[in-house]
Amino acid sequence: MANATLKSYNQSPRKVRLVTDLVKGKKVPAALKALEFLPRRAAEPVEKLIKSAAANAREQGKAPEDMVVKSVVVESAGMIKKYMPRAFGRAAPIRRRKSRILVTLA
């Protein structure tokens, strides 16, 4: 098994899961090919993360071409909270969500 982690990615976990659900259970070359043409912002970091996990597998002496994306976990990594001024002296909260992505190849 080979792992790779992206600890703090500035996009909401819900949007990232749309990308990661596409590659779960696929072989590494097929997953990379699918992400190459996906028109979503999260496709590029997920692709780089799978390549990183494949490089980790290669360092362990395994062939990443034969490996499968066993699991991709997307969880919340907190949020940036700030405020935007609104009418009549009020303030509205802005919550920029972040994601943590964990990829496991087997």
Total number of domains constituting the chain: 1
Task: Check: pTM over 0.95? Answer yes or no.
Answer: no
Render pLDDT for 51-104 as a digit per residue (tens, 0 to 9): 999 999 999 999 999 999 999 999 999 999 999 999 999 999 999 999 999 999
pLDDT value of position 81: 97
Summarised one tens digit per residue, pLDDT across range 79-91 is: 999 999 999 999 9
Structural domain including 19 reads 2-105
Per-residue pLDDT of 21-45, as tens digits, reads 999 999 999 999 999 999 999 999 9
Report the C-alpha dihedral over residues 43, 46, 50, 55, rounded to 10 degrees: 110
Rg, the chain, Cα only:
17
For residue 75, give the CATH number of its domain.
3.90.470.10
Token pair, residue 16, equals 């990232």
Cβ contact 13:75 at 8 Å? yes
> CA nearest 98: which of 54, 26, 45?
45
How far is it, in rounded angstroms, from Cα 67 to Cα 1? 9
Asked if 92 contacts 67 with a C-beta cutoff of 8 angstroms, the reply is no
